[in-house]
Structure 1
């Protein structure tokens, strides 16, 4: 099969190589999927840069990518939930998305219902799960709208995680303020944001709500915004849920533990929970959640997609088709 891989840390786009490798065989509790679409997440090239070194990749050469949609062509022993011919969406624990076939664990694969395209499904997993888990598990929102009315800020709202966070927060009946670039402000409004700030303006840089609201929850989907900017915009028990935690976030969390403030900074490390992914797929099927697709690229030109993700200005998700 055709695949894209890299053989060492670093190298960016130039480190990617097009290869022919054997089609893998599913082991116990695994399924083999013919890939119809895959998506690229920033974590993919960050792993290439060594952010998870020495734990990921587990070995070289490595086929990157975690998000796929496709059709099951073979099932391993012990698999009871799926059969050959099932259309599915999956999160790959060990990479492998940028190829014609990929192995997925049964417990991180869900059925893709008719009406949900392969592109829409492949755009969901990591970004959608990050938004879902940030809002529900860490911020405590109820996505059926039965919880109390809260004020939510979403930073980088036109990115992969941000576009989902805005839509899911509206399902929770929140008042949503969002930041993004000027060119995407109308898109973010269409996704449901009540107020939109251009992040390059003084108000956007300060995260100041146009209606002078304090935020109960900030879903932080970018980098390089310090706690000193968040803190004055929060309610007394407000939370900042950081979907892109780095060393600075972890240091801020450590420092806050020695203060008396009830405001919280919470780092999020997305988990590939099957029930959460199934919930998101069903929202797309019901028309309540819309994946925003920035662009799609053939596997033969994956360098374009990889470079676009590294550039950091994609609107929604970047997709790759074999």
Structure 2
């Protein structure tokens, strides 16, 4: 992991962490003080710049968390607090089935190219998939589920407004050591293209920082 400044540690909060706060608190309904009902939550791409926040926030909400990642990041995701970790490249994990056999109440989908047909059999009766990378297929599924009054839902999350109240809460969690920003690498502004290429590659562990 790259060494970073205090300022860099807050760089992921306004977008990545706030996105996960919106998904888990506002949509999924978890309580960050752990007082809400215990949920079973799946986080795809759990080692990434967005997913690693989802694991931590879900655990603060007293959820049972399953995360997906590549083999090299399994221990990293476990260290974030995940109860179960799936190596997405294995045939068993491709089904997204929880090793404990539990159905997911919520899926925080931070990856790409996983069809609804893979999620649906793993959801509880009222389970929902919160899609942070929605494409045309996701939007069609969202509309169809609404029109058919399905209890299982796919919910695209597209625009995240910057809310001062939520940001202050996230900063407080960071200061208290309850939420950590993990970093894959840092790049000078002159190498911003390298950072962008690494981001597009989709295999970063934590956040990628461009220094200005």
Q: What TM-score results when the alignment is normalised by the length of structure 2?
A: 0.94
Say yes or no: does 1:218 pair with 2:107. Answer: yes
Within 5 Å, give how 1:201-240 maps onto structure 2.
Answer: 201-240=90-129
Question: How far apart in 2 are the matches of 1:263 and 1:134?
Answer: 16
Q: SS in structure 2 opposite 1:314?
A: coil
Could you list the per-position Cα deviations for residues 176-216 of structure 1 after superposition, in whole angstroms to 9, with x for gaps in the alignment?
01100111000000000000000011221100111101001
2:19: which partner in 1? 130
Say yes or no: does 1:162 pair with 2:51. Answer: yes
Aligned-pair CA distance for 1:260? 4.4
2:156: which partner in 1? 267
Report the structure number with the largest CA radius of gyration.
1
1:180: which partner in 2? 69
- Aligned residues between the structures: 207
**Which one is further off, 116-125 or 235-244?**
116-125
Q: SS in structure 2 opposite 1:257?
A: helix
Q: SS in structure 1 opposite 2:107?
A: strand
Say yes or no: does 1:295 pair with 2:185. Answer: yes
Q: Which has the higher contact order (CA 8 A, sep 6+)?
A: 2
Segments of 5+ residues of structure 1 without an aligned counterpart are 1-115
Q: SS in structure 2 opposite 1:184?
A: helix
| Structure holding more helix per residue | 2
Question: How far apart in 1 are the matches of 2:46 and 2:161?
Answer: 21
Could you list the per-position Cα deviations for residues 111-137 of structure 1 after superposition, in whole angstroms to 9, with x for gaps in the alignment?
xxxxx8011011222110111110011
Say yes or no: does 1:305 pair with 2:195. Answer: yes
Aligned-pair CA distance for 1:261? 2.5
Q: SS in structure 2 opposite 1:302?
A: helix
2:171: which partner in 1? 281
Question: How far apart in 2 are the matches of 1:247 and 1:276?
Answer: 30
CA contact (8 A) 1:123 1:293 kept: no
| Structure holding more strand per residue | 1
Say yes or no: does 1:143 pair with 2:32. Answer: yes
Aligned-pair CA distance for 1:259? 2.5
CA contact (8 A) 1:221 1:243 kept: yes
Segments of 5+ residues of structure 2 without an aligned counterpart are none
Q: SS in structure 1 opposite 2:18?
A: helix
Question: How far apart in 1 are the matches of 2:36 and 2:48?
Answer: 26
Within 5 Å, give how 1:12-27 maps onto structure 2.
Answer: none
Question: How far apart in 2 are the matches of 1:140 and 1:119?
Answer: 29
Q: SS in structure 1 opposite 2:81?
A: coil
Q: SS in structure 2 opposite 1:122?
A: coil
Aligned-pair CA distance for 1:312? 1.5
Question: How far apart in 2 are the matches of 1:148 and 1:296?
Answer: 39
Q: CA RMSD in A?
A: 1.1
Aligned-pair CA distance for 1:243? 1.1
